[in-house]
Homo-oligomer: A and B are copies of this chain.
Amino acid sequence: MMNVPLNISSMMERAEKYFPKKEVVTRTPAGNKRHTYREIAQRTRRLSSALQKLGVEQGDRVGTFAWNSNRHLEAYFGIPGIGAVLHTINIRLAPEHISYIVNHAEDKVLLIDSDLLPLVERVKDSFKTVQAYVVMTDGELPETSLSPVYSYEELLAEGDPEFEFVKDIDENSPAGICYTSATTGNPKGVVYSHRGIFLHSMALGMADTGGLSESDRCMAVVPMFHANAWGMPFIATWLGSTQVMPGAQFTPKVLAELIESEKITVTAGVPTIWLGLLKELETGEYDTSSLRAVLCGGSAAPPSMIKAFEVKYGIPFLHAYGMTETSPLVSVSRLKSYETDLPEEEKLSIRAKQGLVVPGLEVKIVGKDGEVKMDGEEMGELLIRGPWIASEYYNDERSKDAFYDGWLHTGDVATMDEEGVIKLVDRTKDLIKSGGEWISSVDLENGIMAHEAVFEAAVIAIPHQEWQERPLACVVLHDQFKDKVSKDDIMDFLRPQFAKWWLPDDVVFLDEIPKTSVGKFLKRALRDQLKEHYQIQ
């Protein structure tokens, strides 16, 4: 076979040549901007040539501080298009972490959405390698203390719309880097190669995984600064799918409106987003009939939420699993062909799991005594390997803790049933170790969230003299149920669902659950917050 390296620039070339009329839609304060792929491709070529003029060379890192937008999409291809490395910076990280990752990645140029300038200005003095700042704005360059500073649109105006992407590079060359949102310590960088992104994109386009298609109108709600928006911008461009970018500071209302007005067929995001959307849909004002899949990952979606989408609103829900280290797609939960006639509740419980590993990857679940039985009961740590799984953290000594023996050790505790379906039980660090046995905080949370009054719930381990650890339930009620539901109500609801020793020792009602920058429960913060209260036990 020909020795043709897998290279992501070919995706944009395909969109340009075969889908020049299809569109990328970006929500902006001035309304929805529409660009065709012909325009996007030319702008991307202009960006590539402009970055070269700024001195960016093959292998250099270029950082982005940006929302989901057509410009961010141009950066997704324009930066790797010259063999440089797209560093998507999580704008929700703490300032000291932003400093850390810009310096650790040695970013040479930063592309910045104008509304995010204050964020960058605050930490700019700590940057050691940045040689140029490029501001992405429609109008005049705003006042800024950044220097030297350029206008993205002015650079593009001077760029070459026929620039030829650099394609003859080793497919294992880095195309992107993304840092995980660490809950402790500094963020850890994951490098994505051209090969990895190419293969991951094919997997996403396969009928049995994401099944993305030219006919889809995709809206990635998951930020483009988080694990490449789960790869959606790559595969959607490759297939010529319409892409809708929700832009800055969107609300559930904005998302619901975009779904209706842009006839979104596939959207992707974390459970927190979908909980918010569900609440908005309760107004009954939206037509969401265009949706063929709400892709959900990042953390486990409660079955009650899946049910609400499917039963109440007729919106097909697609539960998936992955992490920054895995590009991120690892598994998707779909029914097998011989399961489609099972009772609805049974189907729901299968689809609420994390699903089957996608073609191209291998998983195994390893407990104390080696690989666990495929019985849906035995728990162990989920291990993953494959061509789009990271082999290390970028220049980071912590690599050895997660990557060894040829496998990524995820830190996720899981079971696998006889059909091969993975079910996440907990994070290793969130499991509640009670009297030598394990209690899954995730199972308890799902049990609580099935209560109609509950908006969200987190269960954490609190220290206990006799049992070592015991579960504590932290519950946020829907507004209309505030002060109308008691601890006893919750406990009564849980009792038939769980063994007695699994039941939480207490239930506390909170206004909100603290979350990480990507919407996951921040249980460490919860534990800190509630420590005082429970340390006497």
User: Do B208 and A385 have beta carbons less than 8 Å apart?
Assistant: no
User: Do B2 and A386 have beta carbons less than 8 Å apart?
Assistant: yes
Chain B nearest CB from A86 CB (Å) reads: 15
Alpha-carbon distance between A1 and B360 when the two chains are bound, in angstroms: 13
Kindly state whether residue A314 has any CB partner on chain B within 8 Å: no
User: Do B239 and A1 have beta carbons less than 8 Å apart?
Assistant: no
> Which chain B residue shows the least CB distance to A384?
B2
User: Do B213 and A207 have beta carbons less than 8 Å apart?
Assistant: yes
Kindly state whether residue A499 has any CB partner on chain B within 8 Å: no
Chain B nearest CB from A310 CB (Å) reads: 19
Alpha-carbon distance between A75 and B6 when the two chains are bound, in angstroms: 29
Contact partner, A212, options B207, B240, B386, Cβ 8 Å: B207
Within 8 A of B (CB), among A252-292: none
Within 8 A of B (CB), among A207-234: 207-208, 211-215
**What copy number does this chain have within its complex?**
2
User: Do A337 and B215 have beta carbons less than 8 Å apart?
Assistant: yes
Contacts of A198 in B (CB 8 A): 360
**Which of A129-137, A188-196, A439-447 lies at the interface?**
A188-196
Chain A contact surface mostly: loop
User: Do B207 and A3 have beta carbons less than 8 Å apart?
Assistant: no
User: Do A239 and B203 have beta carbons less than 8 Å apart?
Assistant: no
Show 24 residue pairs from A and B whose CB-CB distance is below 8 angstroms, ordered by the A residue.
A1-B172, A1-B193, A1-B387, A1-B389, A2-B385, A2-B387, A2-B389, A2-B390, A3-B172, A3-B391, A18-B419, A18-B420, A19-B336, A21-B338, A199-B202, A202-B202, A202-B206, A205-B207, A205-B359, A208-B239, A211-B211, A214-B336, A215-B336, A238-B359
Binding site for B on A (CB under 8 A): 1-4, 6, 10-11, 14, 17-19, 21, 172, 191-193, 195-196, 198-199, 202-203, 205-208, 211-215, 238-240, 327, 334, 336-338, 356-357, 359-360, 362, 385-391, 406, 408, 419-420
